[in-house]
Structure formats: C-alpha cells, structure tokens
Amino acid sequence: MPRHNLNDLLAFVTVAREGSFTRAAAHLGVSQSALSQTVSGLEKRLKIRLLTRTTRSVSPTSAGERLMHAIGHRFDDIEAELDALTELRDKPAGTVRITCGDFVLRTVLLPRLTPLLLEYPDVKVEFDINYGFRDIVADRFDAGIRFGATVDKDMIAVPIGPKVRMAVLASPAYFASMPVPKKPEDLLDHRCIDIRYPTLGGLDAWEFEKRGRKVNVRVEGQVILNTSAHVPAAAVSGLGIAYLPEEEFAPHIEEGRLVQVLEDWCPSFSGYHLYYPSRRLPTPAFSLVLNALRCDGFS
C-alpha cells in the first residue's frame, strides 16, 4: 500500500479547520489554487470526498470529519514536540492560547502572568474571553479555565485558586420595595438578573444546597446578559437579584451597595482550575505559564 504524503494530509486538516481555502492557503504560505489541487489529489487517491465546497464555505463531509478526528490532533502533537525543542535555547518562546472568563482574567491570570511576560519577552499569551464551554482540542487552545467540577474527566486540571462560594444579592433599594427571600423558592416572586451562557443556549437554573438538600430554581427578570461582567452593576442599579461567585461582588458588599441573602443556601465548591489535554506534551512556554498560575494546596 503506498504511503500518503503528510503534506497532503496537513493541507486537508488546515482547510477543514479554517473552513476556507483562502485562509488555509495564507496559513500554509501556498497559493489557493495549489492548495485546492493538493486536496483534490488526496480525495482522488482515497477515492472519497473529504470536503463539501460551496461558493461561501468549505466543510468536512462525514468521511472528512472521521479523518479529522483521527489525524488532526497528531499534527498538533508534532507541533508541540517541535515547540518543545525551544528547551535547547536560552529562553523559552511561543504562544500559549487560553480560553477563560472576564473576572478570572482580570483577578488571577493577568496579575500572575505579568511578571512572567516581562521576564520572558519571547513568550506570548493569547486570551479568548468566552463563556461557552469551548472544545480546547478542536479549537486548538493550549488550556482553558473553568470551575473544577465542570472540567471533563479526560483533562488534566490544576487548581489556580481557592474554593468559591456563590452569592445572592440585590441593592438596599430593591429590598426596600420587595420582601427578602428566606428560601430559594422565594426567588420565583422576584425580578432576577440572569445570564445566557452560549453552550447552554437557554437560561441555566440557579443551584442551591443546604444540609444535603439541593434545590434548582429557574428565575425570571427584566435583564438577561451573556457575560457576568455587568451583572454587579445591574444589581447595584436596583434591576433585581443577582447570582454569581461571591468574590465578583466583594467591593459592593463591603461598601454596602449590595445586600447578601440566602447565605446558608450557598456552600463553597471547587474553584478555578486551569485544564489541558492529558495527551499533549506541554511546551516550555506553557510550562512556565502553568507554574505561574498553579496554586498548590487548593482543591
């Protein structure tokens, strides 16, 4: 059986990932026509269509999807191994791509990584602010940040902070006109500020627990956001009750702009973790980032 040209396979993988011959050609540094001929030649040798082409887009066929899942990550592994050769140089180099949320970027990632980036000018970090559960393998991220309980089991998860506690809060003005909720179910009678997370599509239930009893409440309100960044400000403005990790409200709680309720229904849980694929060999640049963020002793 003749061996397949790895360049042909890399060409196919790049086009499938980019969804465009134009972008893939630019990425590979070849002409669009040459790239198209390469992929067509591969399809001819395999005697099966790998890509569906239209005037607006390019997408893998079912056979193409299967080939992508089989070989795509292998090119990533080769690239990671080559990046690892920078260990032979005096200073590590390369780009580390991390997907995360606003708050953890502002309070954890940037403060801890700034000294590293100043010390290693050849190391770059690209942050993707995203509230969806990105597939870091398919989307070619080096790592992601999530709460520990939500990390997939096939990932290596490293704690980067202490346990987290959710908080339910509203402004004093809001509670001046509405009764203070005594139990989670009372939230059904209140205006609540909600978040629509991209991965979920719909609105997620607010989760509570007290002495082993778990309660999920699907709240309603006038304001729905797609990130947590503006939730505290909306709550301070009196637009309703908000629900986020307690630390995101800290300044407003300390200065009396928000009043916390249902505290006995909000236990602590596993905090922020950096996670990455178990099969991927960390590059020197990624190892530096990992060591800068790691917080041993947290779980």
User: What pLDDT score was predicted for residue 4?
Assistant: 59
Q: What pLDDT sits at residue 71?
A: 87
Collect all residues with Cβ–Cβ distance below 8 Å to 54 and sequence separation of at least 6: none
Are 277 and 271 within 8 A, CB to CB? no
CA distance linking residue 132 with residue 110, whole number of Å: 21
**155 beta partners:** 277
C-alpha–C-alpha distance, residues 88 and 91, integer Å: 9
CATH class of the 94-159+271-293 domain in this structure: alpha beta
| Domain map (residue ranges) of the chain | 6-71, 94-159+271-293, 163-270
Contacts of 76 (CB under 8 A, 6+ apart): 137, 140, 280
Residue 218: the pLDDT is 94
Question: What's the confidence (pLDDT) of residue 256?
Answer: 95
- Fold of the domain spanning 6-71: Arc Repressor Mutant, subunit A (1.10.10)
pLDDT for 208 equals: 96
Task: Give the per-residue pLDDT at 1.
Answer: 35
pTM over 0.85? The answer is: no
**What is the pLDDT tens value at each position of the chain, 299 positions in all?**
355 578 889 999 999 998 899 998 998 899 999 999 999 999 999 999 999 988 778 999 999 999 988 888 888 888 777 766 655 555 788 899 999 999 999 999 999 999 999 999 999 999 998 877 778 888 889 999 998 877 888 889 999 999 999 999 999 999 999 999 999 999 999 999 999 877 656 788 999 999 999 999 999 999 999 888 899 999 999 999 999 999 999 999 999 999 999 999 998 988 999 999 877 677 889 999 999 999 765 55
The domains spanning 6-71 and 163-270 adopt the same CATH topology: no
**Percentages of the chain per state (helix, strand, coil), in multiples of 5:** 40, 25, 35
CB atoms inside a 10 Å sphere around CB 196:
14
**Residue 256 has which token pair?**
């009396």
In terms of DSSP bridges, do strands 123-129 and 155-159 run parallel, antiparallel, or are they unpaired?
unpaired
* Residues 230, 227: Cα–Cα separation, whole Å: 7
Pairing of strands 242-245, 223-225: unpaired
Length of the chain: 299
Q: How far is CA 41 from CA 5, 12, 161, in A?
A: 11, 11, 51
> CA–CA separation, 172 vs 232, rounded Å?
13
- Residue 296 has a pLDDT of 66
Collect all residues with Cβ–Cβ distance below 8 Å to 294 and sequence separation of at least 6: 158, 159, 160, 274
List the CATH code of the domain at 163-270. 3.40.190.290
CB 7 within 8 A of CB 15: no
DSSP character string of 223-238 = EEESSSTTHHHHHHTT
